[in-house]
Structure 1
């Protein structure tokens, strides 16, 4: 719209300039005609009044030509004043177009990422990744759901500091099953898991063997192996629920405070409450020759 307006103004200016040029040419022609007339009138000695009237007419036409020229100059000044604004507007339009292109590219990248997240196929292993991990849209503040392989690694290390997380024992498997409530004492018992585990003829099994182990249990008990795997995935990290908890009371604190011990029991601990070992349980004879309670032991100067 601004470009069309600018072109229309330029066309009007060009038309005015053409009109001025035409009027100038006519003015010149008229001056020439008048000059020839004056020469002729001089020959005939025309009256002064006629000459003055002609000069007035010529001056009037000259003033009209000057007013037309001033009008064109005013139009040019207006165009010059409006031209920077018209020139800046296309630049602003260019910036707007750049921003629109950036937004479109961002939207396209988001759509592509969504398409990629939706078009991902599950891995060929028997342990599919959780949906939250595939799409990367875990809700903030919610715990990350572990995969079956990660749970296998965690429970294989539970209670065994030397384990590398690749092998699982029967006791660790039963601990996992009990925490996931797969072993409920009715549908599946520890006897069932022991019989199935012994069929593998090994004391520790790998993750591939563990999947076969689950398939065998589900088949023998006529259960859905997917439900068992879901419970094992969602049971959480290995815990110590059900174990004996430490009792905290004033009576226990008083009985375990070594500063309040008396008699021979007091001699078994140092001032920091740490045990003295054999020195606190046996009376060791001092064969150094010093009297009991002597404070300047081993201070004698051997040079005397």
Structure 2
């Protein structure tokens, strides 16, 4: 039974860093039933899981405790394993749950492909933006953002000051 309780606590804290692991939301209950194979889409659907969750939770509450979770599993096991004895069906459902933890399927990861690679290549920057990076592509920090004006020439920010041929 401790393996089932451990699975309950892992799914109860999934997605909520402040969760204690003693109470589980309906969303996490549904996720657990789906990922552990309790919800098979034929005998037990997502609607069945939601109905059982709302039936066992305390009126006005948004979460269920482990004791309420056990009651919900007793209700679902009869649907999931038709034809088996109630105790045998309950053990089969607990067998599906033991040792499982929430999967991070479909979580977005940072990519550096295609346009992202091209836009983050500092060697291709032009104009005032190229002043913000050194030759290796490392940012200069505040020095790269400060507008250091050189008012020594006829045109502001002219870099070729003193290169005009005096013979003309």
TM-score category of the 2 structures, normalised to the smaller one? 0.5 to 0.7
> Can you give the 5+ residue segments of structure 2 that lack an aligned partner in the other structure?
83-88, 152-168
Distance in 2 between residues matched to 1:263 and 1:181, nearest whole Å: 58
- Aligned with 2:104: secondary structure? coil
Greater percentage in helix: 1
The residue aligned with 2:166 is: none
Is the counterpart of residue 183 in structure 1 residue 48 in structure 2?
A: no
TM-score, structure 1 as length reference: 0.37
The residue aligned with 1:238 is: 102
> Can you give the 5+ residue segments of structure 1 that lack an aligned partner in the other structure?
1-126, 130-146, 281-285, 287-291, 296-304
Task: Please report how far the alpha carbon of residue 249 of structure 1 lies from its aligned counterpart in structure 2 after TM superposition.
Answer: 3.5
1:139-187 Cα deviation digits (max 9, x unpaired) = xxxxxxxx11111111111100111111101111111112112222111
Out of 193, 203, 206, the residue aligned to residue 65 of structure 2 is 206
Aligned length: 133
1:246-273 Cα deviation digits (max 9, x unpaired) = 5453654233446644568x49xx6566
1:280-304 Cα deviation digits (max 9, x unpaired) = 9xxxxx9xxxxx7159xxxxxxxxx
Out of 119, 129, 151, the residue aligned to residue 255 of structure 1 is 119
Large movers: runs of 4+ above 3 Å: 219-223, 242-252, 255-264, 270-273
Out of 157, 163, 181, the residue aligned to residue 19 of structure 2 is 163
Distance in 2 between residues matched to 1:256 and 1:157, nearest whole Å: 37
Structure number with the bigger relative contact order (C-alpha 8 A, sep ≥ 6) is: 2
Contact 2:12 2:24 in 1 (8 A): yes
The residue aligned with 1:151 is: 7
Distance in 1 between residues matched to 2:126 and 2:62, nearest whole Å: 51
Q: Indicate the RMSD between aligned Cα atoms, in angstroms.
A: 3.3
Out of 206, 209, 217, the residue aligned to residue 76 of structure 2 is 217
1:113-156 Cα deviation digits (max 9, x unpaired) = xxxxxxxxxxxxxx2x5xxxxxxxxxxxxxxxxx1111111111
1:2-47 Cα deviation digits (max 9, x unpaired) = xxxxxxxxxxxxxxxxxxxxxxxxxxxxxxxxxxxxxxxxxxxxxx
TM-score, structure 2 as length reference: 0.63
